[in-house]
A and B are shown apart, each in its own frame.
Chain A
Amino acid sequence: MQFLQTLDGLLEHIKTVEYETIVLTREAQLRMVRFIEKNKMTLDDETLEAMQYQDIVAQQLNATIEAIESAQEQMQHFMHVFRHDDQTAAQSIEKMQGKLTCALEKAKEKHSAFSGKVNREDDEDGIEFF
């Protein structure tokens, strides 16, 4: 029980750090953009492509925050049951394990879905007309 409470606290901390990372990287990016636009600077294509990474990083972190919140919800449900009913708690452990596994699988799917062309080995140009 104490273990789960500690784990819940650790997950909350990770969520906070991730959220702060999103905010800080966004602010850093926007300040750079303001400087570039104010000084009418022209960037090359490679740099313009790199300027898009913050958006991808933010989406990835948001997806892991969602996964953490889903896991925390299951853990909190289990802790509530454990406090009130020992017999049901045993069944709840199995259910919690299943739901945590499900949360992990969803998080991995989103990691793949939100990566865009980053981490892909193929050399497609990424634009497709229907």
Chain B
Amino acid sequence: MPLVIFVDDSETALASTRMVTDSMPITVKQYLSAVDALNEIKGGMVPDLIITDMNMPVMNGFEFLQGVRANASTARTPVLMLTTETRDELKAQGKALGLTGWVVKPFNPAQLKQAISRVLRLA
């Protein structure tokens, strides 16, 4: 099963995504810290899709994305930003950094499932 990792400093946000993805044919790993997620990636974990929050302490979503892109095995891994931010300049910045897409919170569960299926090309 494809590995999807979620990174968000909010436990309740991670719980919401967990309840949405429970029924999907994917393996989910969740991280409260982008630093921890990046360390696992550097240690050899290769997710099929990364979904990350933007505003996080210590390492924000863009810094995490740069770390992901700098790692050879995840340089082309799809990354979705899941955030309350709606500013166009941030979306443009994300796109320039190699972001795959932008999902605004609160997300519609059916649409998030569709987005994950689309990126992973699930039947």
One digit per residue, 1 when the CB lies within 8 angstroms of any chain A CB and 0 when it does not, for chain B 11-40 equals: 111011011100000000000000000000
Flag if A56 contacts B19 (CB, 8 Å): no
Flag if A127 contacts B111 (CB, 8 Å): yes
How many whole Å from A37's CB to the nearest CB in chain B?
Answer: 7
- Pick the contact of B16: A51, A58, A113, A115 (CB < 8 A): A51
Question: Does B55 interact with chain A (Cβ within 8 Å)?
Answer: yes
CB neighbours (8 Å) of B105 from chain A are 52, 55-56, 116-117, 126
How many whole Å from B16's CB to the nearest CB in chain A?
Answer: 5
One digit per residue, 1 when the CB lies within 8 angstroms of any chain B CB and 0 when it does not, for chain A 43-82 equals: 1010011111111101100000000000000000000000
Q: How many residues of A contact B (CB 8 A)?
A: 32
How many whole Å from B123's CB to the nearest CB in chain A?
Answer: 19
Flag if B106 contacts A130 (CB, 8 Å): no
One digit per residue, 1 when the CB lies within 8 angstroms of any chain A CB and 0 when it does not, for chain B 91-102 equals: 100110001111
Question: Does A1 interact with chain B (Cβ within 8 Å)?
Answer: no
Once A56-B105, A113-B85, A115-B84 are accepted as A-B contacts, the answer to whether A43 and B19 lie under 8 Å apart by CB is yes
- Pick the contact of B115: A54, A55, A127 (CB < 8 A): A127
One digit per residue, 1 when the CB lies within 8 angstroms of any chain B CB and 0 when it does not, for chain A 22-37 equals: 0000100110010011
Chain B residue at minimal CB-CB distance from A120: B86
How many whole Å from B103's CB to the nearest CB in chain A?
Answer: 5
How many whole Å from B38's CB to the nearest CB in chain A?
Answer: 22
Flag if B95 contacts A52 (CB, 8 Å): no
Beyond A113-B87, A129-B115, 10 extra complex contacts between A and B, CB < 8 Å: A37-B18, A48-B16, A48-B19, A51-B12, A55-B8, A56-B84, A126-B104, A126-B107, A128-B103, A129-B118
